[in-house]
Amino acid sequence: MITAIFPAAGKGRRMGASFNKVFAALSDKPILIHTLLSFSRCNLVDNFIIVAAPGEVEPVSKVLNSLPGIKPCKVVAGGTERQYSVYNGLMEVSADTDIVLVHDAARPLITSGVIKNVIDEVKCSGAAVAAVPVTNTIKVIGDDNTVVNTPDRNKLWMMQTPQGFRKDLLLEAHERARLDKYFGTDDASLVEHIGHPVRVVMGDYKNIKITSPDDLIYAEAVLGKKAVSKVKNGVSVAISNALEEMKAKIFKTRI
Ligand SMILES: Nc1ccn([C@@H]2O[C@H](COP(=O)(O)OP(=O)(O)OP(=O)(O)O)[C@@H](O)[C@H]2O)c(=O)n1
Ligand SMILES: C[C@](O)(CO)[C@H](O)COP(=O)(O)O
């Protein structure tokens, strides 16, 4: 059994909106809905756990479980850091799950092909992360802004999600990180911290994390045609209505 955990409990500060960016509209529906629909189209994943901000758990749960085309979701409360949010999600994974995927709710352009790449490698080696080779020259900079060195570009990859692991391995890594007070910006770092090899598989340059308003413009352009075809089959109408409902419930005091 394969379970996907979607950390969605961030603040989206770099987006500069007055609300959590995962509810921001991208084309015809919220970012979070795009992400969940993409995973719902991939028949390799069995269960979804969405980690929402504590005050957003109830409305998100109600809206998600009434939407067409999205697999049934469990919604749990997140923490103050992404790592804590993932841990809270992990605590809710069912006993019959053997593989866990962690995917940023803020990466809506994920494809079934990349999800499959990650799952295939987890089945072989236990830990896999989607990533892409860097396309710019990277330099390490010292305190005074002077270049320290220029690492070999052929060895530099940008990490994405999904990141997938055997459940027991990811649990051990998170428990150890808590004991050691170790923080990583992704789940693979925690697995590296316990000394288990993590394999990199091909991601997709389009699989961006929506971080700033410019990313929304790029994502809109990528989705362009797809969004139009979805409107035709009527699914988007239900989702647009759900977006309005979600906005009204979650943001009525904050917009
Ligand atoms: N305490 C947190 C922080 C982040 N996330 C989630 O982790 C993903 C990646 O985080 P990031 O893009 O850094 O999101 P934010 O923390 O929302 O953004 P910012 O750093 O700009 O505030 C997002 O889907 C976000 O919702 C989470 O579940 N819990
Ligand atoms: C996990 C991650 O998506 C890998 O790129 C990323 O590290 C999380 O986002 P953040 O911007 O570093 O919080």
What is the per-residue pLDDT across 171-182, written as a single tens digit (0 to 9) for each? 999 999 999 999
- Of 189 and 247, more confident: 189
Index of the ligand 1 atom closest to the CA of residue 21: 17
Q: pLDDT class for 53, splitting at 50, 70, 90?
A: very high
Ligand nearest to the CA of 158: 2
Whole-number Å distance, alpha carbon 235 to ligand 2 midpoint, is 30
Above 0.95 for ipTM, yes or no?
Answer: yes
Contact 69, 95 (CB under 8 A): no
Q: What are phi and psi of 18, to 5 degrees?
A: -90, 5
Q: Which two tokens mark 165?
A: 């692991």
Whole-number Å distance, alpha carbon 235 to ligand 1 midpoint, is 28
Alpha-carbon span 63 to 241, nearest angstrom: 10
For the segment 192-217, the average pLDDT, to the nearest whole number, is 97
Ligand nearest to the CA of 211: 1
Look at residues 9, 3, 43 and name the one whose alpha carbon lies nearest to residue 164: 3
For the segment 6-13, the average pLDDT, to the nearest whole number, is 96
Instruction: Answer yes or no: is the C-beta of 187 below 6 A from any ligand 1 atom.
Output: no
Q: pLDDT class for 255, splitting at 50, 70, 90?
A: very low
pLDDT of residue 89: 98
Containing H/E element for 25? strand 25-26
Alpha-carbon span 155 to 162, nearest angstrom: 20
pLDDT of residue 157: 98
Whole-number Å distance, alpha carbon 16 to ligand 1 midpoint, is 13
Alpha-carbon span 190 to 171, nearest angstrom: 10
141-151: pLDDT as tens digits: 999 999 999 99
Mean pLDDT of all residues belonging to the chain: 92
Look at residues 221, 228, 234, 206 and name the one whose alpha carbon lies nearest to residue 69: 234
Contact 60, 75 (CB under 8 A): yes
Q: Would you say residue 235 has pLDDT above 60?
A: no
Question: Domain 2-128+161-251: which topology?
Answer: Spore Coat Polysaccharide Biosynthesis Protein SpsA; Chain A (3.90.550)
Contact 205, 107 (CB under 8 A): no
Look at residues 99, 111, 6 and name the one whose alpha carbon lies nearest to residue 50: 6
Index of the ligand 1 atom closest to the CA of residue 11: 17
57-87: pLDDT as tens digits: 999 999 998 888 888 899 999 999 999 999 9
Look at residues 85, 19, 10 and name the one whose alpha carbon lies nearest to residue 254: 19
